[in-house]
Structure 1
Amino acid sequence: MLAGGAAVGCDDGGSSSGGGSSPSASAGSASSSAGSGSSSGASTSASPSPGGSSTLPPKKGTGSDAEEHRAEAKAAAMLPAPEAIGKALAHTPGKVVSAEIDDNAQDRLIWEFEILAEDGTLQAVDVNPAGGAVLSSHQERGESDDLARGKRLLKGGATDAAAAAKAAAAKGTVVSVKLKPEGGGHWSVETGPEDRDWSVPLDSVKVSPERHD
């Protein structure tokens, strides 16, 4: 690919409105109050992550290709490609080489990115379409062709992935943007739910149907 506990309530230990408390009652109240403070601290650290798998869009349909394309377009519409690219680059600055909606290991739909990072490495970043949280990132290894292509083609004022996605958005919901070497380099952009492919050159934002020779 060219191209990632609920708080438990505690009794506050308050004494009754009657007369003075016995020493043992006072000790119990202090102990309960301390327990309440401890529970409060635990509930803060146990807050669920917004990037949890339960928030991810459902996996692709297991039926026709049309069902899969609709599922991908629905997931991509939750966080449009230009915004998803912004989330990925905020986490890993550099230049996006590819972005696409695809299944993760748990068969959930996510935005997957390959980024030519500022340090010259190729980084993979996964983003949750439901909210934009970064789910994971790691360095890609064994993708020397992708790395070389990005370094060779994405120079100076070349049209970037976000600009290509914005331009193609008029054609449908962008579900993938990939850097291709043919013709001196261009962006291959797929839109859904119709599963149509478009070409955006690196020196403009003109959108034209992609040719498959």
Structure 2
Amino acid sequence: MKRHLVIATAAAAALVAGGTVTAVAVNNDSGPGSARSGAQASAQPAERSSIQVRDADDHGQEEVREAGAAKVTAPEAAAAALKAVPGTVTGLDLDTDRPGLVWDADVLGKDGTWHELTLDAGTARVLNQHVEHGDDDDHARAQAALKGARTDAAAAARSAASHGTVTSVELDGDHRSKAVWEVETVTKDGKEHKLLVDPRSGKLSAAPAHDADDDNDGADD
């Protein structure tokens, strides 16, 4: 799966009330808002997913294969993560991992502890979870990026669903000097879309073409 943009907001701010579903990408894939983070945390191997999908990119069809196989949507995965760990979902990513097809989710618990969960993309069952020990500055930036957001990640995903299956939702806190939700979707014919959702108004728009180009350049690194 793609690795996404950074959030460059400064000081920490009060987090959206507990139970709100949001998604944030912070700094890089090892940050607390990334659904791929938690490299520093120890955990037992995850149980196997009910959906086994071959982890190979066949002429760009990996996204299509994963999206078509998943039975659990992004909002459903967020709800399942919150049921396991009450708090705020800060990252979601659909991916084929060692356990099979899963949703990777990060949750900032009500007690301020960060958790990483692996959810079955077929049943939403939690396959694995552990406490994540990340950078305090990254955590603070994640909290600051949520300030003033009235549209959460689940709502952003629902807004973008008409453009295909949602595979990722993240918050870019410094997109042209303002915060936007970035939602990635893929259609059955393999077309991928990056869409932007205004966190205040909920307005949906297409991402500028150069944003997609930047992602492609990053994938080659």
How does the TM-score come out when normalised to structure 2?
0.66
CA–CA distance in structure 2, aligned partners of residues 158 and 188 of structure 1: 15
- State the match for 1:74 in structure 2: 68
- State the match for 1:94 in structure 2: 87
The alignment partner of 2:167 has SS state of: strand
CA–CA distance in structure 2, aligned partners of residues 122 and 186 of structure 1: 23
2:197 to 194, 200, 209: 200
Query: 1:208 and 1:143, CA in 2 relative to 1: closer, same or farther beyond 3 A?
Result: farther
1:61 aligns with 2:53: no
The alignment partner of 1:98 has SS state of: strand
- State the match for 2:117 in structure 1: 125
Matched-pair contact (CA < 8 Å) for 1:60–1:72: no
Query: 1:114 and 1:57, CA in 2 relative to 1: closer, same or farther beyond 3 A?
Result: same
Matched-pair contact (CA < 8 Å) for 1:174–1:191: yes
Query: 1:206 and 1:145, CA in 2 relative to 1: closer, same or farther beyond 3 A?
Result: farther
The structural deviation recorded for 1:157 is: 5.4
What's the CA shift string for 1:65-103, capped at 9, x where partnerless? 1x1011121134x11111111111111111222111013
The alignment partner of 1:147 has SS state of: helix
2:97 to 91, 104, 122: 104
1:177 aligns with 2:169: yes
Query: 1:73 and 1:148, CA in 2 relative to 1: closer, same or farther beyond 3 A?
Result: same
Decide which structure has the larger Cα Rg and report it.
1
CA–CA distance in structure 1, aligned partners of residues 47 and 59 of structure 2: 28
Matched-pair contact (CA < 8 Å) for 1:75–1:101: no
How does the TM-score come out when normalised to structure 1?
0.69
- State the match for 1:161 in structure 2: 153
CA–CA distance in structure 1, aligned partners of residues 109 and 197 of structure 2: 22
CA RMSD, aligned part only? Answer: 2.3
What's the CA shift string for 1:141-179, capped at 9, x where partnerless? 234454223211224653211111111111110011112
Any unmatched runs of 5+ in structure 2? 1-28, 37-45, 215-221
The one-letter code of the counterpart of 1:53 is: R
- State the match for 1:3 in structure 2: 35
CA–CA distance in structure 1, aligned partners of residues 112 and 54 of structure 2: 33
Any unmatched runs of 5+ in structure 1? 5-50
1:187 aligns with 2:181: yes
Equivalent residues, number? 164
The one-letter code of the counterpart of 1:56 is: I
The one-letter code of the counterpart of 2:90 is: V
CA–CA distance in structure 2, aligned partners of residues 54 and 117 of structure 1: 24
Matched-pair contact (CA < 8 Å) for 1:113–1:124: yes
CA–CA distance in structure 2, aligned partners of residues 204 and 115 of structure 1: 24
Instruction: Choose between structure 1 and 2 for higher RCO, CA contacts under 8 A separated by at least 6 residues.
Output: 2
CA–CA distance in structure 2, aligned partners of residues 173 and 199 of structure 1: 15
What's the CA shift string for 1:27-76, capped at 9, x where partnerless? xxxxxxxxxxxxxxxxxxxxxxxx952612313334211x1011121134
Matched-pair contact (CA < 8 Å) for 2:53–2:66: no
CA–CA distance in structure 2, aligned partners of residues 148 and 59 of structure 1: 37
Which is richer in helix?
1
